[in-house]
Chain A
Amino acid sequence: MSTYLVYTAGGVLLYALGTYGLLARRHLIHKVISANFMGSGVFLILIGLGNRSPEGGPDPVPQAMVLTGIVVTVALTALGLAIVKRYYTATGIDNLDDEPSAGGDR
C-alpha cells in the first residue's frame, strides 16, 4: 500500500459513483455533473497510476493525457448544457424519461 493507491482507489470509487449518477439521476444537469465526476475519476486513476515511478517524479504522459481530457470534458459539458437548455426552452422538460407532447420534426 502506498500513496498512489489511495488516489487510484478514490478515482475508481469516483468513477463508479459517476456511472451510478449518470444512469440513475433523472435531471439532465445531474447527469452532466455525474459525467464530470466520471471524468475526474478517470483522471485520478491515470495520474495516480502514473505515480509509481521508482526514480521519483510522476510520469508526464498521463499528465498530458489528463490536460487533454480536462479540455475535452469542458467541451462536452458545454455542449450538453447547451442542449439541455434548448430542450428545456422548447418543451419545459428537464429529463429524458418524459416524452415531449408534440414532436414535429422532419
Chain B
Amino acid sequence: MGDPRHFPALLPLLASGGVLAFVGRAVLALPPTASGLAVEMRDGAKASGIKNVVTAVLLDFRGYDTLLEIAVLMLATVAVLSLREDPAALSRRIAGRAGPVLGALTRTLAPLMILVAGHLVWVGSSEPGGAFQGGAVLGAAGILLVLSGYAQPAWAGQRIVRWVLTVGLLAFIGVALYPMFGGGSLLQYPAESRKGLILFIEILLTLSIGASILSLFLASASATAGGERP
C-alpha cells in the first residue's frame, strides 16, 4: 500500500466494501437467463433495414440519447477550451517532437487508421462499427498526426475551427427537427429516406466525433506547450 497515511483509510474501505456486498447480493439474486429488450430491438431493426442492431439502437430507436451525447462531447470541448490559461497558446506549435520511430510509425499507421475509420462507418449498418468507433479511430489518428508533427492545426479559436467543431451537432439538430415539418416528432425519420438520413448522420457524426476527440486533446495539450504562466 502506498502512502500509509492515506491509502488504507477507513471510510473509503467501508464505502467500497458496502457497495461490494450490496451490489453483489443484487447480482446473485438475478435469474440466469433474461433477454431484456433484445427481442423487440432485433425485430425493430429488421423492420428498419439496419442489420447491425447496436447501430439501429444508437441512431434510430435511441437516437435521442445519441443527440444528447454529441452535445456532451461538444460541451466537453467547449469546457476544456474555456479552461485554457492563455488563448494565444492554441496557435503556437504544440508538436514537432517526433523521433524517427514515432515518425515512421505515424507514416504507416495514420493513413491506415483513416481508412479504417471510413471502413467502420461504411459497414456500420450491417457489421460491427459505426460513427462512434469510426470517429474515435479518426480522432486517434489525428492525435497521432499532431503528436508526431505531421499536422499543424492553426488552432486559434478562429471561425473556421469553431465551425468544424459545431457543424456535426448543428446538422444533427437539423435532421432531428426536419421530420417535424411533416407532422412527425423529433428524430422521426420518414420511412422512405430513413436509410439515407441515417447514413448521412453517421458520416457527419464520425467527422464531428473525430474532431471533438482531437480538439479535446489539442485544447488541453496546447496548454502544456503554451509556455510559462503569465
Contacts and interface: CB of A to CB of B under 8 A. Distances in A.
The short answer to whether A and B are in direct contact, CB under 8 Å, is: yes
Given A12-B27, A68-B66, A82 B15 contact: no
A52 B41 contact: no
A60 B57 contact: yes
Interface residues of B, number: 56
Given A53-B33, A68-B66, A16 B3 contact: no
Interface in B198-230: 209, 213, 216-217, 219-220, 223-224, 229
Interface of B: 3, 6-9, 11-13, 15-17, 19-20, 23-24, 27, 30-39, 41-42, 45, 53-54, 56-58, 62, 65-66, 69, 72-73, 75-76, 79-80, 83, 85, 132, 209, 213, 216-217, 219-220, 223-224, 229
4 interchain residue pairs of minimum CB distance: A75-B76, A23-B12, A24-B12, A20-B16
B62 A64 contact: yes
Contacts, number: 143
Contact of B9 (A24, A60, A75): A24
A83 B35 contact: no
Contacts of A86: 83, 85, 223
Contact of B53 (A25, A49, A60): A60
B168 to A, nearest CB: 13
Contacts of B20: 12-13, 16
Nearest to B229: A89
B11 A60 contact: no
B83 A20 contact: no
Contacts of B83: 79, 82-83, 86
